[in-house]
Amino acid sequence: MLEAVLRRIEAEDAQESVWIVGPATGRMLHWLIRVAQPKAVLEIGTSVGYSALWMASALEANKAGELWTIESHAQRYERAQGNFEESGLKHRIHSLNGHAPEIFELENGIPEQVDFVFLDATKMEHAAYFEAVIPRLKPGSFLVVDNVLSHRSGPMQEFIENLHRDSRLKVVEISVGDGLLIARTETV
């Protein structure tokens, strides 16, 4: 069921860009979650749910954990709901329609502490997303940022440089998909 949903979304993206991370990044997210075994995952930028499905499938394989995913665009949010339902993974996913980081100020069920965060939303707002989520990251947690190669200019460039300088993080960049930054919070 999941494979069919993922392939359909990929075909839809080829016809009308629906803002997905692509299979290589999806597989990397899946692998990271399988290895890290987080219990609380937060995604900012659901789009139609493609990356959320990769992460939720890893949580399902781990037999533990839940994903909270935030999307501000109403039509993409609705499409994601259908994809979550069709995949059979809806029980692992809490989907929120709203704009991050303002949604954190609402009573929304997002845990106070999370183990894994994936940022793939409006690039010029990533610094604000980071400031909203860093207090929620437990020591030893992961922060993954998409598009660090494809969107490396302006505010995104400054954001990436700031993450590399942040003493609370150990940071690496890899050329998977459009480029991923993977950071781990210090365990001290």
Best CA proximity match to 45, nearest among 10, 83, 71: 71
Question: What pLDDT is recorded for position 106?
Answer: 77
Q: How is 46-63 classified by DSSP, letter by letter?
A: -TTSHHHHHHHHHHHHHT
Q: Is the pLDDT of residue 188 over 70?
A: no
Does the pLDDT at position 133 exceed 60?
Answer: yes
**Per-residue pLDDT reduced to its tens digit, 32-86:** 999 999 999 999 999 999 999 999 999 999 999 999 999 999 999 999 999 999 9
Q: What is the mean pLDDT of the chain?
A: 95
Within a 10 A sphere around the Cβ of 136, how many other Cβ atoms?
A: 17
Residue ranges of E strands in 27-113: 40-44, 66-71, 93-97
Residues 6+ positions from 8 with CB-CB distance below 8 Å: none
- Across the range 129-137, mean pLDDT stands at 94
Look at residue 101 and tell me whether its pLDDT is greater than 90: no
* 142-163 pLDDT tens trace: 999 999 999 999 889 999 999 9
Tokens of 21: 């991370």
